[in-house]
Structure 1
């Protein structure tokens, strides 16, 4: 197996770090959750003798010849402690219809990227087209955010869901400044879910898949994780108040507006 360039290895090492956070928090049962990174700008010239494998969907034409790190289908987040076992670096072909594995994928001869890879690629390509510096996508199953998405009133809109989390702690308002997008339940791994998530993450820091999980993009894996981690803290505090028998008073909208102005959020 080829030796990774230092810049690429640094990004892959962050995947290993975050994967263990997700597992320790019980956010990644069995093979739940995924991580992807667009490595195109730092990987350099890439060639491979590995066979071209077909993708299950036609991918956006703009991702042709781009290079990504991605977790494998059926692989466990906790197994990303060995990033070349449960994940791989692959290159999309020039028709955006197939890929070649450049590095990793050691878990099996039939190794393939996660079925949610199309969601990640669409998000990253939309971010790139919008001029964003975001290069990575994290999808995981944060317990309290999922629990709150079952709340029949709060889950009705992105605004209600965002406010429920923002009001619990000034840091949630400060570090998830674009809020949380609420996506009504869709079939996992569907193109409908991919498209709705892409649209949501152009306007929000975190997207919630109702009754399923959360997705965030970031400059790197650590930033994407932070968005979800901080948002989940808001959801956890809200649920703790309800479990204690009272509805939280919360930080007032006026105080949150003052916070926004003071910190230029």
Structure 2
């Protein structure tokens, strides 16, 4: 068994992929994940490939990515086959394969742009997860919810613990082409203050200290969205907690300073 096969990070990928599939959030090869390693992976790098974006805060780092065309339901069973480790060049302008899957997700440059912002602003958050929860994508189709502020204010107040976990609210990126660098660059501008970023009619991006934590954040948001749609289906106008109750709750748990109404 190789050093790569024994990496603890593979278990985080496998478990998260299992739950993404079980939830029905990752249809086919939809979605992708990546994690910055705390220490460089010890392997001889392959051919250097130029990055279309400069990521100086990732210089010399090793990052694990899901492979292109891999399915979450299969990654859960074969993580060493579907996950690859890559090294960012010393100048932050290239990457090279180190171990595992040799065909990274098409969104590798976008992930690198987001990781670069995380390494600068929230270095403790090393994981990125992108997936397609139907309840969250459906929010983009509601004309009453046109931006991140409206979505955050309307949706997160529907469950009393949601704002404790996501007091900064939800970021929102208008339409960009799937897999594009522009999508990653737009998201990178938001992750300095948001752990979740909703992509218009596409899916959602979550960040966290590991993939399990990123998945937690996605679940909190998705649960609130499910409540929203259940109320709408029952003919009830979703109102949620009052501003006063929200403030009291955040003060009680010491989270008011993180709140972005």
TM-score (norm 1): 0.89
- The answer as to 2:58 corresponding to 1:63 is yes
For residues 51 and 89 of structure 1, the distance between their equivalents in structure 2, rounded to whole angstroms, comes to: 11
| Deviation of the 1:65 alpha carbon | 2.1
Find the partner of 1:200 among 172, 190, 208.
190
| Deviation of the 1:57 alpha carbon | 2.2
| Deviation of the 1:4 alpha carbon | 3.9
- Count the aligned residue pairs: 254
- The answer as to 2:170 corresponding to 1:180 is yes
C-alpha change, 1:253 and 1:209, in structure 2 (3 Å) is: same
For residues 60 and 249 of structure 1, the distance between their equivalents in structure 2, rounded to whole angstroms, comes to: 42
Per the alignment, residue 34 of structure 1 pairs with 32
Per the alignment, residue 199 of structure 2 pairs with 209
Is contact 1:88-1:102 (8 Å) kept?
Answer: yes
| Deviation of the 1:56 alpha carbon | 5.8
Find the partner of 2:124 among 133, 139, 158.
133
For residues 80 and 202 of structure 1, the distance between their equivalents in structure 2, rounded to whole angstroms, comes to: 29
Per the alignment, residue 231 of structure 2 pairs with 241
For residues 239 and 168 of structure 2, the distance between their equivalents in structure 1, rounded to whole angstroms, comes to: 22
Is contact 2:61-2:87 (8 Å) kept?
Answer: yes
For residues 179 and 119 of structure 1, the distance between their equivalents in structure 2, rounded to whole angstroms, comes to: 22
- The answer as to 2:96 corresponding to 1:100 is yes
For residues 69 and 166 of structure 2, the distance between their equivalents in structure 1, rounded to whole angstroms, comes to: 31
Structure 2, unpaired ranges of 5+: 256-261
Per the alignment, residue 107 of structure 2 pairs with 116
Q: Which stretch shows the higher mean deviation, 50-59 or 238-247?
A: 50-59
RMSD: 1.9
Is contact 1:58-1:97 (8 Å) kept?
Answer: yes
| Deviation of the 1:121 alpha carbon | 1.5
Find the partner of 2:83 among 50, 74, 87.
87
For residues 221 and 91 of structure 2, the distance between their equivalents in structure 1, rounded to whole angstroms, comes to: 38
| Deviation of the 1:251 alpha carbon | 1.1
After superposition, what is the alpha-carbon deviation per residue over 1:153-204, rounded to whole angstroms, capped at 9, x for unaligned?
11x1211101222121111111122111121111112222111111111111
| Deviation of the 1:5 alpha carbon | 8.8
For residues 168 and 101 of structure 1, the distance between their equivalents in structure 2, rounded to whole angstroms, comes to: 44
Is contact 1:18-1:222 (8 Å) kept?
Answer: yes
| Deviation of the 1:152 alpha carbon | 1.1
| Deviation of the 1:249 alpha carbon | 2.9
For residues 167 and 8 of structure 2, the distance between their equivalents in structure 1, rounded to whole angstroms, comes to: 27
Is contact 2:87-2:98 (8 Å) kept?
Answer: yes
Is contact 1:30-1:76 (8 Å) kept?
Answer: yes
